[in-house]
Amino acid sequence: MSPSIRVILAEDQAMVLGALSALLELEADISVIATTANGRDAFEAVGRMKPDVLVTDIEMPHMTGLELAANLRTNHPSVRTIILTTFARPGYLRRALDAGARGYLLKDRPAKELADAVRRVHRGMRVVDPALAAEAWNAELDPLTDRERQILQRAGDGRSSTEIATELHLSEGTVRNYLSEAIAKLGASNRVDAARIARTKGWL
């Protein structure tokens, strides 16, 4: 028999994590070697255990799934990442693929599809939810830069320019300039409105 595909799961909802692990363990050719509840622990587990595939949610504490995928592409390029999420938005799909993810699946799909995706991604293929892939062809391009996205996300969470500047090691004037650029690009009335628009489109 060929060796099992070694998988690490990253999901911050304990019941979902347990269910995913149990479902994948039913597959004879897949072995779940670790489960983690946040992106930082997932990244450390990958470094220790060297899996073949990482399956991760997008929204997680300490490091998002998109940040995790990008870090793995840089530091552990042999590990293939699948994003498993509720976000059925083309903007998230594009960001996931740009970050190096090899798969993007929605949580409401049948469990068998995840196992099949793990196998296909392990073989070097790319797996994307077909309905979302079709929608992404006609979706608007994300106009935000990485820095604008970082700042707008924090502003949308209610942090002040001073707090954002301190956290990102920037001047308050620089933060305000980035926010002004993001607001203008999105045709928003203020920073909160800009964050709302960007989240709706999957750009934050």
Domains of the chain and any CATH numbers: 5-138 (3.40.50.2300), 146-201 (1.10.10.10)
pLDDT on residue 199: 84
Q: What percent of the chain has pLDDT over 90?
A: 63
In this structure, are residues 170 and 155 in contact, taking their beta carbons and an 8 Å threshold? Answer: no
Q: How far is residue 144's CA from residue 159's CA, in Å, rounded to a whole number?
A: 19
Q: What is the pTM of this model?
A: 0.71
In this structure, are residues 155 and 195 in contact, taking their beta carbons and an 8 Å threshold? Answer: yes
Quick: pLDDT tens for 194-204: 998 888 877 87
- Radius of gyration for the chain, computed over Cα atoms and rounded to the nearest angstrom: 18
Quick: pLDDT tens for 38-83: 999 999 999 999 999 999 999 888 899 999 999 999 999 999 999 9
